[in-house]
Structure 1
Amino acid sequence: MDPLDTQQRILEAAERFYAERGFEGTSMRNLTEAAGVNLAAVNYHFGSKKALMWEMFRAKIVPLNNARLELLNAALARPEKPQLEDIFDALLQPMFEAAKGPDGANAIFLRMIGRVFSESEEFWQQLHEEFFVDLSRRFLEALASVMPNLPPNELAWRFHLSIATMLGALVTHHSMNRGCVHIDGSDMDATCERLRDFICAGFRGPQGDAN
């Protein structure tokens, strides 16, 4: 059996089980059965359950962040000064591309995002330090260049709220047509564009008394 194929099947099974049950609820026994491997194969390729889950996140997040930085660098390299929309396109578009499935939204990916919200504060901190510190710094620098009148603390708050809005929009995508809410969210590109415009409007809003 091809080792790369084995690794991929283990990672795909890890995605499904994490999306359904979270870290603590993922059973290595069920995961190995779903992947068609034994526990020794998981230990050989990844070393532990935590290392496997972390590699699963790495496989998802690193290409996503690389795509974001590529778009951001392209926007900053143009002769004309980038607009706020250019920067948020770079941040949002790769995330929404990842959230696309062959027949609509990528349910597993969206459930994975939702599961992250239920993890511990320690987990959140480790995830942020490993994958998002440098990315956040680059985007904050770009935002500061196009919004020079915003104090650093206000800029950081607005960026934080923008990220929270993006994640919330993705996590609640499946419930957009329930209850009193009736929104057609099937077009992920259109949803991304609406979200970008919403976030940019907030970024350009007046500063409140909290400063």
Structure 2
Amino acid sequence: MPSPTRQQLLLAALKLFAENGIHAVSLRSINQAAGARNSGAVHYHFDSKLGLLSALVDDLMQRIVQYRGDALERLSARHTPPTVEDCLDAFFRPLWLLHFDPEVGNVATKFFLQLHITPIPEIQRQMAERGQVSWQQVEALLLRALPHKRRAQLRLHIGMGWISVLNGLAALDLMAVTPLGDMRTGSLEEMMPAFMAYLVAGISA
């Protein structure tokens, strides 16, 4: 069972990294935000800032795996080609569910976005390795759904879709004040289908 202090440090670090950026956050500020009595708590549990970032990525990627379940495998087992919408829903829905996760909330997607803005080679490799299977699965599924699509173009669109989802989720609050008014619904059931339709149209082109 994970140590309560370790989990408090992870959650405190996640929020600070998401809101302030990776390099602007000190280990001391994480210890303070987590309410750790030992000033060396981060070093004790994670060895270093890089170790803490790695543990955060592992934790969040595991949540994504749990949310996705076997959705991609079930689509792969179909005798008929899946629809583009089915493929993208199975691949991207976990990011939406992570964004609305009661424990990590919207700071999880903001943290992932920060990692893209300020890339750290070791963490980039870790994320690529952890996501490789699901990315290969959705690529194979979309090639079945879109047999006319060139693989190189499809891969580019998958990557652009990933960045679009992260940006869209991280910036949902920006939709509160627009020339068309408050465009937030606050409902996963209403917002996700609209965004998925946007992605489907782009990848199907």
TM over 0.5: yes
SS of aligned partner of 1:176: helix
- What runs of 5+ residues in structure 1 fail to find an aligned partner? 206-211
Partner Cα distance (2:143, 2:66) in 1: 21
* Counterpart for residue 72 of structure 2: 72
Measure the CA separation in 2 of the matches of 1:35 and 1:97.
Answer: 25
Cα separation, partners in 2 of 1:128 and 1:12, compared to 1, 3 Å:
closer
**Equivalent-residue separation in structure 2 for 1:127 and 1:169 (angstroms):** 23
**Which range is displaced more, 170-179 or 64-73?**
64-73
Question: What do residues 27-50 of structure 1 show as CA deviations (whole Å, max 9, x unaligned)?
Answer: 111211222222433222211111
Q: Which residue of 2 aligns with 1:93?
A: 93
SS in 1 for 2:22: helix
Residue identity in the other structure for 1:204: S
1:101 to 1:135, Cα distance in 2 relative to 1, 3 A? closer
Equivalent residue, structure 1, for 2:21: 22
- AA at the equivalent of 1:40: G
2:54 maps to which residue? Answer: 54
Change (3 A) 1:39 1:131: farther
Q: Aligned residue for 1:209?
A: none
Distance change in 2, residues 1:174/1:21 (3 Å): same
What is the deviation of 1:112? 2.0
User: 8 Å contact 1:68–1:94 — kept in the other structure?
Assistant: yes
C-alpha distance after superposition, 1:87-114 (max 9, x if no partner): 1111121111111155xx9342343244
Report Cα offsets for 1:161-181 as digits up to 9, x if no partner. Answer: 222221221122110122314
Query: What is the CA–CA distance in structure 1 between the aligned matches of 2:105 and 2:11, rounded to whole Å?
Result: 14
- Structure 2 residue 183 is the aligned partner of structure 1 residue 175: no
Is the partner of 2:143 in helix, strand or coil?
helix
When residues 114 and 145 of structure 1 are mapped into structure 2, their CA distance, relative to the original with a 3 A threshold, is same
Unaligned runs of 5+ in 2: none
Q: Equivalences for 1:115-130 in 2 at 5 Å?
A: 115-120=114-119, 122=121, 125-130=124-129
Amino acid at match of 1:19: A
Within 1, Cα distance between the matches of 2:123 and 2:56? 15
- Identify the residue that residue 40 of structure 1 maps to in structure 2: 40
User: What one-letter code is carried by the residue in structure 2 that aligns with 1:18?
Assistant: F
CA separation in 1, counterparts of 2:97 and 2:202? 23
Q: CA deviation at 1:121?
A: 6.5
8 Å CA contact retained: 1:84, 1:143: yes
TM-score, length of structure 2 as denominator length: 0.85
Q: In structure 1, what is the Cα distance between the partners aligned to 2:2 and 2:76?
A: 40
Tell me whether 5-14 or 123-132 shows the greater mean CA deviation.
123-132
- 1:149 alignment counterpart: 148
Residue 166 of structure 1 corresponds to which residue in structure 2?
165
Q: What's the CA shift for 1:130? A: 3.5
Is the CA contact 1:162–1:199 (under 8 Å) kept in the aligned structure 2? yes
Query: Against the structure 1 CA distance between its residues 123 and 20, is the aligned structure 2 distance closer, same or farther, given a 3 Å change threshold?
Result: farther
CA RMSD of aligned residues (A): 2.5
Q: Distance in 2 between matches of 1:186 and 1:98?
A: 15
Dislocated runs of 4+, deviation >4 Å:
none
- Which residue in 1 is equivalent to 2:191? 191
Deviations 1:75-134 (A, max 9, x none): 2234543211111111121111111155xx934234324423431364674354333333
Report the Cα offset of residue 184 of structure 1.
Answer: 2.6
